[in-house]
Structure 1
Amino acid sequence: MTRQLTIGLVAHDARKDGLVDWAKTHAALLAPARIISTGTTGGRLLEALPDLDVTRVKSGPLGGDQQIGAMIAEDRMDALIFFVDPLSPMPHDVDVKALMRLGIVYDLPMAFSARAATILLKGLEAPGGG
């Protein structure tokens, strides 16, 4: 019996539409996974793709990044897809960097753009992936 993959899906405000569009394109690959997403992003995903298994945590600036970070540290996350907006200032930039650091420390597969996310997701689906 194969266990269900848990994938974090997060996006900065300017990238939320892009993440939702990407998720629509890859809905069949995401369907068997458990999705953990920060507040607003998760709401947008549920609105666009109500059949996905999406669990919303708090908004990023209100602690959602830390909640996902805790899941990474507890080995409860299989991958993180984070559509980052590198051109906008982020008041919670320290939290974002901490989340990325945890992903590196725990050797978590991560992607920060649509093309990288597609490659990552397809790799998780391959034999021996995830």
Structure 2
Amino acid sequence: MPAIRYGLIAHRLHRQGSDSGLLRWLQAAEPAVRALGLGLHAVGGTYDAVQRYGLLDKFPGLVRYPNGHSGGLTRLVSHIVGGVQPGQALDGVIFLIDPVDPSSLFPEAQALKRQCVIHGKPFLATEAAALEWLQIEGLQAGLASAQAPGAALLQAMPQQVAALIAHDALKTQMVEFAGTHFELLSRYQERVATGTTGGLLNQMAWSRGWPSDQPWVTPYRSGPLGGDAQIAERVLDGSCQKVIFFEDPHVARQHEADIQLMERAVCSASDRTTCMNSPAMAWRWAEALGKIPLK
């Protein structure tokens, strides 16, 4: 049984044509998938597309689930939380989302993301995020750089912008995360945040010696007052490449539409934007990059 197992699903947009997101991801990720011995548990139509592309040929880690309308997605949700039989648990999900596909709002899709967040398992909704996370897994596993070129992630940071967002119950965790990995996050060209989180992060940075006349993050409005939409615009413009979002899945949110708007913007920029939805993802990401000497 593979040591690491991920669910795999791609909306129709991402699995059709010679330039589809699924095909691009497979072509780039296949060396790391094989080196890791990664298990990929693919919902019906996605499995069929992988077979059609002729990639991962004779790869034993590729497993077919039923089609989505036959319960394939529901089975992924169950297996994210541990399944009903021994050995069914999955470690995360790669779900290449088309934000205008109505099935992205089906209960199964919403539950899949929510349970990943609750259980601290990666939910990778874009092509860029799915490729980056293979590099993270490779770094954690100590793969050769040719198989998991993680150093490129560090080299790209000075040309990128990161958004740091946290719901009320997780703002303290966000400040702790940013403080622990202050040097790493400071490599970004710019950091942006929604209102209150931005204020807390600037206070933390100033307490660490960041110049008091310069904000460490650019604060936008609070989420309920439109900050999520402001960050979404930057994502769509290509001027924000990473969203680190400490999401609280246990509370009803009056501004749920704003949160979905931002997440849909991320999925619209699938080839260039990554998103981490939980503290567990963010810590594992930073821990992996910490294995590369900062220069």
Short-chain TM bin: 0.7 to 0.9
Alignment equivalent of 1:46, drawn from 169, 183, 202 = 202
TM-score (norm 1): 0.87
1:30 aligned partner:
185
Q: Looking at both structures, which has the greater relative contact order when contacts are Cα pairs under 8 Å and sequence separation is at least 6?
A: 1
Q: Which residue of the partner structure matches residue 21 of structure 1? A: 176
Partner of 1:113: 278
Q: Which amino acid is the alignment partner of residue 42 of structure 1? A: G
Unaligned 5+ residue runs, structure 2?
1-154
Conserved? CA contact 1:38–1:57, under 8 Å: yes
Which one-letter code corresponds to 1:85 in the other structure?
D
The reply on whether 1:78 has 2:241 as its aligned counterpart is: yes
Alpha-carbon distance between aligned partners in 2 of 1:124 and 1:68, rounded to the nearest angstrom = 25
- What RMSD over aligned residues (CA atoms) do the two structures have, in Å? 2.3
For 2:191 and 2:262, the matched residues in 1 are separated by: 17
The number of aligned residues is 127
Q: Percent same amino acid at aligned positions?
A: 33
Moved more, 99-108 or 45-54: 45-54
In the alignment, the residues of structure 2 paired with residue 9 and residue 121 of structure 1 have an alpha-carbon distance, to the nearest angstrom, of 14
Deviates more, 1:29-38 or 1:49-58: 49-58
Rounded to whole Å, the distance in 2 between the matches of 1:75 and 1:55 is 17
CA distance in 1, matches of 2:163, 2:191: 6
What is the one-letter code of the residue matched to 1:39?
A: G
Is the contact between residue 160 and residue 239 of structure 2 (CA under 8 Å) also seen in structure 1? no
CA positional deviation for 1:124:
7.7
2:264 aligned with 1:101? yes
Amino acid at match of 1:93: E
Q: Quickly say closer, same or farther: Cα 1:31–1:86, change in 2 above 3 A.
A: same
**Alpha carbons 1:110, 1:120 under 8 Å: kept:** no
- TM-score (normalised: structure 2): 0.40
| Offset of residue 53 of structure 1 | 2.6
AA aligned to 1:76 is S
**Correspondences of 1:57-68 after superposition (within 5 Å):** 57-68=220-231
Please, which moves more after superposition, 65-74 or 49-58?
49-58
Alpha-carbon distance in structure 1 between the residues aligned to 2:290 and 2:205 = 20
Q: CA deviation at 1:118?
A: 3.2
Per-residue CA distance 1:53-86 (angstroms, 9 max, x = gap): 3100111111100000000000001100010000
Q: Is the 8 A contact 1:81 1:112 kept in 2?
A: yes
Which structure 1 residue ranges, 5 or more long, are not aligned?
A: none
Query: Aligned residue for 2:255?
Result: 92
